[in-house]
Amino acid sequence: MDNEILKLVQQTLTNFKPQQIKAVLNMMDEGNTVPFIARYRKERTGDLDEVEIRDIKENYDRLASLEGRKADVIKLIAEQQQLTPALKKAIETADKLQDVEDLYLPYKQKRRTKATIAKEAGLEPLAAWLLSFPKSSPAQRAQQFINSEKEISDATAALAGAHEILAEAFGDNAQLRNWVRNETRNHGELVVKVKPKAKALDEQGVYQQYYDFTSPIKQLVPYRVLAINRGEKEKILRASIQIDQTGIERYCHFRFIGQHQGPAVPLIEAAYQDAYKRFIGPAIERELRNELSDAADEQAIKVFGDNLYHLLMQAPLKGRVVLGFDPAYRTGCKLAVMDANGKFLDKLVIYPHKPANAEKRAAAAGEFKAFLEKYQVEMIAIGNGTASRESEEFVANILKTLTRPVYYVIVNEAGASVYSASDNARAEFPGLHVEQRSAISIGRRLQDPLAELIKIDPQSVGVGQYQHDVPQKALTAQLDVVIETAVNQVGVNLNTASPELLTHISGLSKTIAQNVVAYRDENGEFSSRPQLKKVPRLGPKAYEQAVGFLRIVAGKTILDNTDIHPESYPAAKALLKAASLATTDVGTAKAQKLSQLNLTKLAVETEVGELTLKDIISSLQKPGRDVRDTMPAPLLRQDVLKMSDLTPGMQLQGTVRNVVDFGAFVDIGVKQDGLVHISKLTDKFLKDPRQAVAVGDIVTVWVEEVDEQRQRIALTMIEPKVTAHD
């Protein structure tokens, strides 16, 4: 850790105490992970959460990169013997990378330009003379620079060369570029048009609203930027930044001419106008388009990450026998039943839909009902892909004939087919077809969304916006962070966790995770956390980072089924002793006595901080707790709706499937998800839909409009006002 950069971080992040920043960076240098620091080093960080810890690290990395670039630029300019004290100070005090690049631009090695050729022809003195605003004729002065060997045949050629030198100098002026950049950002517009004859490429009118679209740059919202970018990529749209140049020319006149008069003034005006047209304008347009795209990408990645987190953190459906139902037409619906612990029991294929023949369709109902009764299925998870709603109707009709309650849930099956064809799926179920593995995945998503979704490429889970258009490296990095956060907040059962799940545990690599499973397969279930030390390649540091997030149910000690770190077991026992409790009292009503302890006194006696002691008490009171149990439970259904059943004003309950910048998509039990526009989420102003809803939320909605032809449903979460007339 560089102390100079540390000081810069402390000056930048004024919402953190200097010692918090230093502690976080020191611990990360020591190889500690973010989840470990957030959970088990609260005293050292002052109780910072994972987001705050990552914010500190990201700012340190950003400033380290900026300082590195400054040093490189200073060195490169110094090598040209052009570095002045003022220029060096300007570079050193720059707080943005763009400012550093602007200052470096005049000294950057360029390809041979017209200005370079003019300088080689000795025309720099003529350009400098023009900037002195002489009273004499520029054409007469230019006669002195005629040089046939340098292809300066006459005064016009000499003045043209001087023009190139001035235009390039104006174009490289850092202050001018910065002013134009801000002026364009504040007053420019993005103008979008449909390309000639390109409407035919947009058969469904996806980009229709952008065929003739204009918006101030500073009012552009991220999802529009991404849509326009995609339309350009598909060669349907053409976009450009436009601005009234009057203000820019007025500024240039004030800056470079001021009160001066004389015959050189028109030449200088022509030079800065040309500089804007050829150098500054196009460069600023590229920069601002990139700036808009980067901000839109960042927002899209943030939205996807937030949606993925809530998807992963959905409440598991514990202790129920579940049937996974993968719908299809021609190839039949694939069924897979799992016991209450997620173990695959049996499979079946039925043909309830056309084009199957009448005999197969007639047999499907009996086969399905018998399958449900044989395994006493309690919940049915129906994938939301092809033939989903027809399958839902089929299932609902069968459930009406049962004498016991059985419910179904529509499950987002995005990515299930990708996982089912993967090497991991083949290794887990080598004797099954791809579709049968998919049915298992759908069923398990209901039983334990986190454990199952973790096996799938996160970009395939369908809860983002334009996720395939954003930089994939940045997207992957963000999704890795989200998965790491979710997995470690929940913790995993060491004796049932898959290699994919273990890979995301703090401190465990893919190899170590596989070694843990291999050791478990060879030696049987773990009975205590210290057994982990016997796993090949799982060294002391990996053990320290991982062990607190790994649970052992029904092991040698109940403490192993909590999120208490083994390093704090002595403190946990001291707390129990102080409350006159035994380990057999952990998790019982007696454990509430722990809340009455004097933690300030015990912190001194145990040499463990009060924040950690509070966490230990919570764990002793609720061993084996799952933070997901506080999340909304899946919406259970027994009957089906059709779009034709919907009428304006109808009240329904639904599950939020996706949240995007302009609203939320809600599954209300019909074929098409309905859209609640951001303006309809609440009667208060919202800048971000995620302030009101999250993926997995169960919400009450009212139907506003139904367009069966376009398969669109408009919903509102604002309860309609009932008038006396109504």
Q: What's the CA gap between 412 and 81, in Å, rounded?
A: 63
pLDDT of residue 724: 52
CB 279 within 8 A of CB 168: yes
Position 640 pLDDT exceeds 80: no
CB 612 within 8 A of CB 571: yes
Chain segment 339-366, per-residue pLDDT in tens: 998 899 999 999 999 999 999 999 999 9
pLDDT at 384: 85
Question: What residues does each domain of the chain span?
Answer: 3-107, 114-301, 322-447, 491-556, 563-626, 643-716
Peptide bond preceding 355 in cis form (omega within 30 of 0): yes
Give the pLDDT band of residue 424 (cuts 50, 70, 90).
confident
- Distances in Å between the Cα of 288 and the Cα atoms of 5, 103, 168, 393 are 29, 18, 21, 51
Average pLDDT over residues 4-26: 95
Q: Does the pLDDT at position 12 exceed 80?
A: yes
The C-alpha atoms of residue 498 and residue 514 are separated, in whole angstroms, by: 9
Q: What percent of the chain has a predicted confidence (pLDDT) above 70?
A: 99
Interatomic CA distance for residues 446 and 657, integer angstroms: 14
Superfamily of the domain at 643-716 = Nucleic acid-binding proteins (2.40.50.140)
Q: Element (H or E) spanning 482, and its range?
A: helix 472-490
- Buried b / exposed e over 377-386, threshold 16 CB at 10 Å, is bbbbbbbbbe
CB atoms within 10 A of CB 74: 18
Task: Give me 32's structure tokens.
Answer: 């500690």
* pTM of structure: 0.85
CA geometry: angle at 570 spanning 567 and 573, to 5°?
135
**Mean pLDDT value across the chain:** 93
Residues 491-556, CATH architecture: Orthogonal Bundle (1.10)
Q: What is the mean pLDDT of residues 495-522?
A: 95
Tell me phi and psi for residue 418, to 5 degrees: -65, -45
Burial of 45-68, coded b for 16+ CB within 10 Å and e otherwise, reads: beebebebbbbbbebbeebbebbe
Average confidence (pLDDT) over 561-584: 96
CATH of region 322-447? 3.30.420.140
What are the CA-CA distances from residue 424 to residues 255, 343, 418, 437 (Å)?
Answer: 66, 16, 11, 11
| Model confidence band, residue 723 (pLDDT cutoffs 50, 70, 90) | low
Residue 28, pLDDT > 60, answer: yes
Q: Please check the confidence at residue 666 and state whether its pLDDT lies above 80.
A: yes
Three-class HEC string of 140-188: HHHHHHCEHHHCECCHHHHHHHHHHHHHHHHHCCHHHHHHHHHHHHHHC
Question: What does the pLDDT look like over 182-233, one tens digit per residue?
Answer: 999 999 999 999 999 899 888 888 899 999 999 999 999 999 999 999 999 9
- Section 640-644 average pLDDT: 78
For residue 312, give the nearest of 564, 160, 490 by alpha carbon: 490
Query: Is the predicted pLDDT of residue 722 greater than 80, yes or no?
Result: no
Q: CATH topology for 114-301? A: Tex N-terminal region-like (1.10.3500)
Which pairing describes strands 712-716 and 698-707: parallel, antiparallel, or unpaired? Answer: antiparallel
| Predicted confidence (pLDDT) at residue 459 exceeds the cutoff of 80 | no
Decide: 91 and 70 in contact? Cβ < 8 Å.
Answer: yes
**What is the DSSP secondary-structure string of 582-621?**
-GGGTTSGGGGGGGGS-HHHHHHHHT--HHHHHHHHHHHH
Name the superfamily (CATH) of residues 3-107: RuvA domain 2-like (1.10.10.650)
d(CA 506, CA 590): 33
Q: Is the pLDDT of residue 69 over 60?
A: yes
Other beta carbons within 10 angstroms of residue 698's beta carbon come to 13
- Looking at residue 367, its pLDDT comes to 96
- Which of 168, 174, 177 is CA-nearest to residue 127? 168
Q: Is the pLDDT of residue 467 over 80?
A: no
